[in-house]
A and B are shown apart, each in its own frame.
Chain A
Amino acid sequence: DAGITQSPRHKVTETGTPVTLRCHQTENHRYMYWYRQDPGHGLRLIHYSYGVKDTDKGEVSDGYSVSRSKTEDFLLTLESATSSQTSVYFCAISDPANGGYEQYFGPGTRLTVT
């Protein structure tokens, strides 16, 4: 299995508070992604990174920001959490430059916004 960890694994927070989720990889893969998974919607891309300090938006980026200051860490921040952001968040990595087109997923973070 690819070395990907996410923290925290579970979090309950209140509406309006900031929240930061961390994804850490030990595979030295260039690409990193944040997805959310909700019933009836499948996995949807929030933001992704194609290198240190290089990030771009996915299909559901409103209300989220990301940062990648080093290869191994990709942070997802909810500036002011809302109940609609209650979801399971998955981080993923890939290495297409070396033929690794498949994405490997971290264990997920279950976030509840009350």
Chain B
Amino acid sequence: GQNIDQPTEMTATEGAIVQINCTYQTSGFNGLFWYQQHAGEAPTFLSYNVLDGLEEKGRFSSFLSRSKGYSYLLLKELQMKDSASYLCAVEGGATNKLIFGTGTLLAVQP
């Protein structure tokens, strides 16, 4: 079966660092994506991991371990505007078809 797990909600403080975890079990694996979605808006692409290791892009980094079926999104120097849902998605085998987790709602507090 196909399963992607993320925490439902997280809270963090402005200026701090937060790590959002994602574990997956899929019938195939071509890559893992992270998306950000503000309330009432469309998801926007953050990162794409194919190989094991850390990909850094400004304040955001994403890590992948294919052997463990595990990824995390690391957000540094948190800002209030980072309050959003963060969606983990796996390309499970069929060309460019994504399986999404239910998302992690991050609340950044002053």
Contact = CB atoms under 8 A, between A and B. Distances in A.
Contacts, number: 46
Contacts of B98: 43, 45, 103
Interface residues of A, number: 21
A43 B45 CA distance: 14
B95 A107 contact: no
B48 A102 contact: yes
A102 B45 contact: yes
Nearest to B103: A42
Given A105-B42, A108-B42, A96 B95 contact: yes
Sort chain B's interface into a size bin.
Answer: 10 to 19
A45 B97 CA distance: 8
B43 A43 contact: yes
Contact of A31 (B45, B96, B100): B96
A96 B30 CA distance: 12
Interface string B93-110: 001111011110000000
A58 interface: yes
Interface in A34-48: 40-45, 48
B44 to A, nearest CB: 7
Given A31-B96, A50-B95, A96-B96, A90 B102 contact: no
B43 A105 contact: yes
A44 B100 contact: yes
Given A43-B87, A48-B97, A94-B96, A104 B45 contact: yes
B70 to A, nearest CB: 18
Interface of B: 31, 33, 41-45, 48, 87, 89, 91, 95-98, 100-103
